[in-house]
Structure 1
């Protein structure tokens, strides 16, 4: 079964251009609306003295002295300042590791760009978050915009083939407690010494966890090395949902754009319930 994802749109001029020209926009991480994006806390359990020493030897500055080496300087530094004060030395090295993590995290934030979608939470014809009032209010211009439904796998394949890029896929998690995502500092330090991908995984943790109140989004992300426009095949679109309060000229523009694609894209009107707090979905009347 194909995965259904949804992208709510305000209905701006740029939104119409993207819909007409078949592209989506990959944005900077700094432009995302969660102020805690990328924040994390650190778990220092299980880090041995040997691991701390080896980590510090790798990243300690190499003084411009022919008779000195990073390893010798670390041993001297430890002997002169922290011998018999292991807790203080642990804090010192751990702070180096945290700084290194934040340095790599900044590189990740500047190197990768993101496109966010909302994944269908269930198999209903009108699933959450498509039927969520808050999503329409926050991301569709107060119920004056529209929503695009994509075939997730087809969209990913289409973007990769049309733009010669590789996309990473990252579902966002929403833990039940209010704790920030936890980075295992031991795994991170070991990964830095080995030069493997575990450090990258630890960084991803900080970018793919959000506070529980965001759960209505059920977000899944594409990340790319390229910023800006990424083109796709219009067959990736399954349906368009047009909010009742969208101005008539804007509604006509959306319908005209969709009909020009000559793809089997369904068009629905979304109306506000008259008896309860609920949205109604029905095939759009394209003649009236």
Structure 2
């Protein structure tokens, strides 16, 4: 179950302003992600016997057009050769799922937190951007999935790859598993079948805007102007660097331009 709210860090760019004005979320291709393993890692296939592979193949192959004659010919092969073919099919299945994610699926990323220093540096324009807080009761934020941080790549069984009802979990494992090095992000992801898709959200889904400590006052004014009519209930916070501890502190403020 997702947290009640999630955060999206933004640089101050034309695209982020357009999304703010149009009230939309963009689902981008994972090809552009900054982690080379992100959505491109492999799946470790757990060891399985030839009998297990044959059992799975007998149930799955007819679903993709194999006739009884095709199956009879396949299973008449020597065990060693049959095992090679079925093992290759498993690896092809992994590659198909991975390539499908990279070439076709859209992903957008959020975080549980809005105060992380690295997040502001990496995704918030080096503290000169802003962070949006969304209510997960509204679409598309109500479908977000938690990212798991692991030392090893995800694992799957032969059955997981051969059966369509289990392939969805394999897909989710690939999309939502990252190296433990990224655990500080506390990430949640929303998924879409088509990369490049833009999804609108209801005005009430946007709860707050947090401005980075280094954002220019004129840029704050631009954002306030955009939201004046579209999201009158949004709460605004201005960030300051703490003088004693390594953290960003936010204080709410009432924008006079919206009064």
Deviates more, 1:23-32 or 1:223-232: 223-232
CA distance, structure 2, for counterparts of residue 172 and residue 147 of structure 1? 19
Alpha carbons of 1:285 and 1:275: their partners in 2 closer, same or farther (altered >3 Å)? Answer: farther
Q: Is the Cα contact below 8 Å between 1:40 and 1:183 reproduced in 2?
A: no
Question: Which has more radius of gyration?
Answer: 1
TM-score, normalising length from structure 1? 0.77
Is 1:279 the counterpart of 2:248? The answer is yes
Aligned to 1:141: 125
Aligned to 1:174: 149
Aligned to 2:168: 200
Instruction: Identify which of 265, 283, 287 aligns with 2:234.
Output: 265
Deviates more, 1:33-42 or 1:140-149: 33-42
Where does structure 1 lack aligned partners over 5 or more consecutive residues? Answer: 63-67, 120-128, 158-166
Deviation of the 1:280 alpha carbon? 1.7
CA distance, structure 2, for counterparts of residue 130 and residue 31 of structure 1? 23
Aligned to 1:122: none
TM-score, normalising length from structure 2? 0.84
Alpha carbons of 1:182 and 1:44: their partners in 2 closer, same or farther (altered >3 Å)? Answer: closer
Is 1:28 the counterpart of 2:3? The answer is no
Instruction: Identify which of 199, 205, 213 aligns with 1:236.
Output: 205
Aligned to 1:131: 115
CA distance, structure 2, for counterparts of residue 54 and residue 239 of structure 1? 50
Aligned to 1:162: none
Q: Displaced runs of 4+ in structure 1, greater than 4 A?
A: none
User: How many equivalent residue pairs?
Assistant: 251
Deviation of the 1:202 alpha carbon? 1.7
Where does structure 2 lack aligned partners over 5 or more consecutive residues? Answer: none
Q: Is the Cα contact below 8 Å between 2:109 and 2:188 reproduced in 1?
A: yes
Instruction: Identify which of 212, 219, 224 aligns with 1:250.
Output: 219
CA RMSD across the alignment = 2.9
Deviation of the 1:92 alpha carbon? 4.1
Deviates more, 1:265-274 or 1:250-259: 250-259
CA distance, structure 2, for counterparts of residue 108 and residue 41 of structure 1? 13
